Chains A and B, each alone.
Chain A
Amino acid sequence: MTEQKIRVLIAKPGLDGHDRGAKVVARALRDAGMEIIYTGLRQTPEMIAEVALQEDVDAVGLSVLSGAHMALVPRVLELLKANGQEKVKVFVGGIIPEEDLPQLLEMGVMGVYGPGTLSETYIADIRRAVLGAAA
């Protein structure tokens, strides 16, 4: 009866209203057999961390197109850590300038996936990050 499912929260922090990309990613992960919690637009980092806690997710995907990623992403990481969820993998999608990548990865972001990324890429990355060597 034991069943292990990868649970992923897909969230849109901040004020931009474009969730097409987030929905495409949610759908692709669903089709990869994962359970996706989708919370809709305009979430604060506090709301996102609380949902991640209540839903006990394995990974959080943040979609940011507003340019505010260097403020929003570290805040989410910080709150996850404060809640004891430092093991949760965080990945970022949206419009992220190349020069910000090293800093985001340095903070502990698992991966950054811009427009045009093949879904196989982030599906494989999430599986590997969550399941470890088992994947």
Chain B
Amino acid sequence: MNLAEAVLAGDRLALARTLTQVENGTPQGRAALDALFRHTGRAHLIGVTGSPGTGKSSLVNQLARAYRQPANGAEPSRRVAVVAVDPTSPFTGGAILGDRIRMRDLAGDPGVFIRSMAARGSLGGLASATAALAQVFDAAGFEVVLIETVGVGQAEVDIARLAHTTLVVEAPGLGDDIQAIKAGILEIADLLVINKADHPGADHTERALRGMLELSAAVHPAQHHTAASHRVTQAAAAPGDELNSTWTPPIRRTIATTGEGLPALVQAIAAHRAHLEATGAWQRRTRARLQAELELLLQERLVSCWRSRLPAGLYEQTLDALFDHRISPYQAVETLVQC
């Protein structure tokens, strides 16, 4: 049995090894992804992002618990995968992956599989292989994949391209209402979570977020929140994407250390999924994501093809000419690529 077959058969060690091969970009990893890809497309990818220290890991812990042991008992429990990304040191290439410290409650549950990942130089809040790891979990039959980004600042929005539903986690006391009207992280939220809601200032944070939401609804009545998928590529945004605009990100308060507010959050996530499916946005997001992935791979392949066909020395000569200011950067490109 090869790796992919073992993964599909539910072998956990094979799953772990496949994740490593895929993360390292090895030929075995590629082969496994190729074989697994047609089994993907069923999982709900849920992104959890926000500043460092807002409680993302604790919230992921509670979310996974909530999916495994639904409070009302009506919903069947689902298998949950967690991909938790932490930063890589830019100086040594090493990393401390500590998100699991907050996920101890999940130990011993065979329906939960947690994988820590170092960002390995990527700057958008995810590692370059995060999407591929999510695909492996999807193929392995995990119905819910929770993706926790590194603690982000204001512009690390890759998660919105990957996830069906993006949660932006805020905590009281982290900034005034000017922070809330800046571009970036808040615009990608499908759901806004005010965690640590028992801390002072939660009301103020909610007011600031509400104000931000009202403003964006007034300014872009037809565009809110599809910005991220538009940015991937204009062509990927199918006509009718504005249907998505009828979704206004709800604000939910949680206390991740106790689990308070979790049932309401899980409900809001389910409502978002239902909205995506009802408006066709689920399909459009998937398509846009796959197109973005295709274009990225195409670029990589085209660049490496082009390099392999370039006459020896031409690149260096052109760079020298550019450095001597004999030609402009645009002329340098004309010299190197004709099409």
Contact = CB atoms under 8 A, between A and B. Distances in A.
Interface of A: 1-5, 7, 26-27, 29-40, 46-47, 50-51, 53-56, 83-85
Given A3-B120, A4-B24, A35 B113 contact: no
Given A30-B89, A38-B98, A46 B108 contact: yes
A40 B95 contact: no
Interface string B227-267: 00000000000000000000000000000000000000000
Q: For the complex, would chain B's binding face be called helix, strand, loop or mixed by DSSP majority?
A: mixed
Contacts of B120: 3, 5
A3 B25 contact: yes
A36 B24 contact: no
A32 to B, nearest CB: 6
Contacts of B113: 54
**Most chain B CB atoms below 10 A, which of A7, A33, A34, A56:** A56
Contact of A2 (B24, B94, B97): B24
User: Across chains A and B, which 4 residue pairs bring their CB atoms closest together, nearest first?
Assistant: A30-B94, A1-B25, A56-B16, A40-B101
Contact of B118 (A1, A5, A38): A5
Nearest to B86: A35
Identify the interface centre among B97, B98, B115, B118: most chain A CB within 10 Å of its CB. B97
A39 B100 contact: yes
B68 to A, nearest CB: 15
Contact of B97 (A1, A31, A38, A40): A38
B116 interface: yes
A56 B104 CA distance: 18
Contacts of A35: 88, 94-95, 97, 118
Interface string B88-121: 1100111111101100100110000111101010
Interface residues of B, number: 29
B199 interface: no
A19 to B, nearest CB: 10
B100 to A, nearest CB: 5
Contacts of A40: 98, 100-101, 104
Contacts of A56: 16-17, 19-20
Interface in B254-299: none
B107 A47 contact: yes
B9 interface: no
Contacts of A32: 92, 94
B205 to A, nearest CB: 29
B26 interface: yes
Contacts of B13: 53, 83-85
B12 interface: yes
B304 to A, nearest CB: 10
B300 to A, nearest CB: 8
Contacts of A26: 96
Contact of A55 (B24, B94, B104, B116): B116
A31 B94 contact: yes
B16 A53 contact: yes
B25 A2 contact: yes
Given A2-B26, A46-B108, A37 B100 contact: yes
Nearest to A4: B24
B94 A29 contact: yes
Nearest to A29: B94
A6 to B, nearest CB: 9
5 contacts: A29-B94, A30-B94, A35-B88, A37-B100, A83-B13
Given A2-B24, A37-B98, A38-B100, 5 more contacts: A35-B88, A37-B116, A50-B108, A54-B12, A56-B17
A51 B12 CA distance: 12
A30 B287 CA distance: 38
Contact of B96 (A27, A47, A50): A27
Question: Chain A CB within 10 Å — which of B16, B26, B101, B113 has the most?
Answer: B16
A31 B115 CA distance: 22
